[in-house]
Amino acid sequence: MKATDLLKKQHKEVKALFKKIENTEGARERRRLMNEISIALEGHTAIEEEMFYPAVRGLETQKAEEMVLEAFEEHHVVKLVLAELPQVDPADERFEAKMTVLSELVEHHADEEEKEMFKVAQKLGKEELEALGEQMEERFEAFRGKAGRQAA
């Protein structure tokens, strides 16, 4: 799968998780979904930062450079919120508001990637995007497997 298609698929999966948590009342299930969201976002941002963004940056256009730098800053904000989650009480009245803010942050960021960065990334060519996608998927699955075992 092309790297850009893999990342789009993961964006969809995370959006679905946010939808699910929004419609979940029970504290236990909320906690479980919060863990799932954390793992998905940590793995996703890692393969973007370590593999995808450097490839886009390698295109060496000013636009690519600017988009990558902005994306790193947005990831930084997402990670600040993720770091708070273990202390968040799923039964607290602030829970839903916190999830909404995180979800909007992620959605805005993912939309920008899809509408701008992934378009520019097509300049890498189909073959390179396919090869990169395969490596990224492998790394993501390895990360998720490890994180899943730690959470269990």
Binding site for Fe ion (CB under 5 A): 48, 113
Q: Compute the least distance from the CB of residue 8 to Fe ion, in Å.
A: 8
CA-CA distances (angstroms) from residue 128 to 2, 56, 80, 131? 8, 11, 32, 5
Helix/strand/coil for 152:
coil
If the CB atoms of residues 21 and 117 are measured against Fe ion, the closer one turns out to be 117
The least CB distance from residue 25 to Fe ion, in Å, is 29
| Element (DSSP H or E) covering residue 83 | helix 62-84
CA 50 vs. chain centroid, Å, equals: 13
CB of residue 82 to Fe ion, shortest distance in Å: 13
Cβ proximity to Fe ion, 36 vs 48, nearer residue: 48
> DSSP secondary-structure letter at 58?
T
Q: Which is nearer to Fe ion, 45 or 90 (CB)?
A: 45
